[in-house]
A = this chain, B = another copy of it.
Amino acid sequence: MIKVGIVGGTGYTGVELLRLLAQHPEAELAAITSRKETGVAVSTMFPSLRGRVDLAFADPAKVDLTSCDMVFFATPNGVAMGEAQRLVDSGVRVVDLSADFRLRDVAEWEKWYGLKHACPALIAQAVYGLPEMNRERIRTARLVANPGCYPTAVQLGFLPLVEAGVIDMKHLIADGKSGVSGAGRKTELGLMYAEAADNFKAYNVPGHRHLPEIRQGLAAALGSDIGLTFVAHLTPLIRGIHATLYARVTKAADMQALFEARYAQEPFVDVLPAHSHPDTRSVRVSNICRLAVHQPQGADTVVVLSVIDNLVKGAAGQAVQNMNLMFGFGETLGLMQVPVVP
């Protein structure tokens, strides 16, 4: 049993962490902080947790998280970079669910996030927490940068093709569709029910922050730069990401076999039979990524369909998966809830 702390637990990734950790057999929730909600019982803010989480939100200035074995940052971008170093120095293992340590190139990070990075030195130590790419390095990491939601779905979808070297890497296209919870638990006009329901739109087409993150991951897998067009869309889902990926085939291959072989040993990646269409529903409230690969009309464009729950495999679930790896627990411990249908 390890002692776990959460910094900034009032957002959707926070409450999802709480839901998962409250059911995790090896984690004891020791503290959860919130500047704004100090003193408020967690179960007052989230009645779904009545009887399951007895903590109140603690003042981040007053709680000592160095007594924890493990701390999750579920904070807005820009917070973890100021606080993680001290925890790491104290021997605490840290998983940051924000974007602070995801990009290895500080200048690139500062350009996309519009902030000066407070702790560039720590970036080098951070391991990008996509277990399907970096499992062994995560086990020993002191700081894990938990991937973004779109980057998880897109990278898992492209990875077998990139590693096998069968596609044109200069013109990848990723058409992503996300549920509204992906934007966080914040009150923006475009996220209101009366705005987002029965509505569909693209956003940030000129440039989305997940673009450099995906590009970095796939470039690392390839060993050289890649070209990617990424378009994100807001869709009237509470949870769920569907990424539709397009690439030009440069070398004939049995795509289905390629995908099945790549993920044969992965507990949380499920390659569907040929000709399948995974729906976001089939992974809802679970840590699974389901994939299907098509080559329509036998032409030279390969299409990959990739679905995840943005709050689980795209955030809190993957964070717990990383925690399991870091502490030597079974990788699937506490993460085997069956997807919720309907």
Contact = CB atoms under 8 A, between A and B. Distances in A.
Contacts of A173: 173, 246, 301
Contacts of A189: 185, 187
Contacts of A275: 205-206
B200 A235 contact: yes
A47 B237 contact: no
A309 to B, nearest CB: 10
B171 A342 contact: no
A201 interface: yes
Contacts of A235: 177, 200, 235-236
A243 B48 CA distance: 18
Interface in A203-250: 203, 205-207, 211, 227, 229-231, 233, 235-240, 242, 244, 246, 248
A97 interface: no
A30 interface: no
A297 B51 CA distance: 31
A116 interface: no
A89 interface: no
A338 B49 contact: yes
A22 interface: yes
A124 interface: no
Contacts of A47: 272, 278-279, 282, 290
Interface stretch (A68-76, A80-88, A190-198): A190-198
Counting chain B CB atoms within 10 Å of each CB, the highest count among A278, A281, A339 belongs to A281
Contact of A205 (B22, B227, B305): B305
A280 interface: yes
Given A22-B338, A237-B200, A340-B340, A301 B171 contact: yes
A12 B206 contact: no
Nearest to A23: B338
Given A173-B173, A207-B297, A229-B299, A23 B191 contact: no
Counting chain B CB atoms within 10 Å of each CB, the highest count among A15, A171, A336 belongs to A171
Contacts of A231: 244, 296, 303
A294 interface: yes
16 contacts: A22-B338, A48-B283, A50-B270, A177-B200, A181-B194, A193-B195, A193-B236, A198-B238, A198-B280, A200-B240, A201-B242, A202-B277, A207-B296, A229-B296, A235-B235, A246-B246
